[in-house]
């Protein structure tokens, strides 16, 4: 794993945006896996600036989001589809038809999940999957105990996740209890994974994911199995890493993975 430790959240967002921007320039038809949550917002803001000020085009890019709440229509202000529109899609030149977010209102969820996986296969797989991390160590909505071979499916949200995400809904009661999420196995098939983490409330999850054992209790630890996983952290999120000095030195020598 490549572990990049930067000063603050702003630097993490800019680093990730530059990384994604380089990929888009190299391969204008790149397939990006995208994430929601507070963490990638600064990255998306920088990507928007790169589009507006540097002419970076997303006209041929395809995107697949990690997850969506069950029971929220796409146009609900709290849906992840709305989040992506507000934070990114409405501000760049990507056609709406090239953006994919699971449908939280699907009537046949099993069939919808199968189709979502099929759509990913049909475009040749995801080139880069952007990820955040839950304070319980989850990626997407793969809560503790999720099979490390899991595929896109319905998942019940853990109490801690409901609590963490209540800030977006106003009250805990309004947070949907179920989500459709890409599985850990789906995520591991992306050619590259880029996980961002900022803030001290992620420090334990980050330590467990990078330096703990591979375990379904911390689904981000599955990235230890991925040959091209990069984790970009601010100082606060990296604060509990025992090998932080080693990662810094390795990064300076550019031998991260």
Instruction: Name the site residues for ligand GLP (rule: CB under 6 A).
Output: 35-39, 66-67, 132-134, 140-141, 161
**DSSP line for 132-196:** ---TTS-BTTB-TT--TT--SEEEEPPHHHHHHHHHHHSSGGGS-SEEEE--HHHHHTSSEEEEE
In terms of C-beta density within 10 A (0-12 exposed, 13-18 middle, 19 or more buried), how is residue 22 classed? exposed
Min CB(243)–ligand GLP separation in Å = 23
Min CB(157)–ligand GLP separation in Å = 8
Asked if residue 46 lies in contact with residue 52, where contact means CB atoms within 8 angstroms, the answer is no
* Nearest CB to ligand GLP, comparing residues 110 and 201: 201
* Nearest CB to ligand GLP, comparing residues 4 and 196: 196
* Nearest CB to ligand GLP, comparing residues 98 and 163: 163
Distance CA 209, CA 107 (A): 35
Min CB(187)–ligand GLP separation in Å = 10
Q: Show the tokens assigned to 40.
A: 């990638």
Asked if residue 128 lies in contact with residue 103, where contact means CB atoms within 8 angstroms, the answer is no
Min CB(22)–ligand GLP separation in Å = 23
* Nearest CB to ligand GLP, comparing residues 39 and 186: 39
Asked if residue 117 lies in contact with residue 100, where contact means CB atoms within 8 angstroms, the answer is no
C-alpha dist (Å) from residue 23 to 10, 14, 56: 20, 14, 11
Indicate which residues carry an active-site annotation.
67, 136, 138, 143
* Helical (H) or strand (E) element with 52: helix 41-54
Min CB(236)–ligand GLP separation in Å = 12
User: Any idea which residue has 């952007």 for tokens?
Assistant: 130
* Nearest CB to ligand GLP, comparing residues 132 and 176: 132
């Amino acid at each position: 794993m490549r572990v990049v430790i930067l000063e603050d959240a702003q630097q993490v967002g800019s680093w990730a945006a530059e990384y994604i921007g380089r990929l888009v320039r190299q391969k204008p038809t790149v397939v990006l896996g995208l994430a929601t949550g507070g963490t990638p917002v600064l990255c998306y803001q920088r990507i928007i600036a790169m589009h507006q000020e540097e002419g970076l085009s997303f006209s041929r890019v395809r995107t697949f989001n990690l997850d969506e709440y069950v029971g929220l229509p796409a146009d609900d202000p709290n849906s992840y589809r709305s989040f992506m529109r507000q934070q990114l899609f409405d501000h760049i030149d990507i056609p709406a038809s090239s953006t994919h977010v699971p449908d939280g209102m699907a009537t046949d969820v099993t069939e919808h999940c199968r189709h979502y996986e099929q759509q990913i296969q049909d475009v040749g797989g995801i080139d880069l999957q952007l990820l955040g991390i839950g304070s319980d160590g989850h990626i997407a909505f793969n809560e503790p105990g999720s099979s490390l071979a899991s595929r896109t499916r319905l998942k019940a949200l853990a109490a801690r996740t409901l609590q963490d995400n209540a800030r977006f809904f106003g009250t805990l009661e309004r947070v949907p209890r179920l989500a459709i999420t890409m599985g850990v196995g789906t995520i591991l098939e992306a050619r590259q994974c880029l996980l961002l983490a900022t803030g001290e409330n992620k420090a334990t999850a980050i330590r467990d994911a990078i330096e703990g054992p591979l375990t379904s209790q911390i689904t981000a630890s599955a990235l230890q199995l991925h040959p091209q996983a990069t984790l970009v952290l601010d100082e606060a999120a990296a604060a509990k890493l025992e090998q932080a000095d080693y990662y810094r030195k390795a990064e300076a020598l550019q031998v991260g993975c």
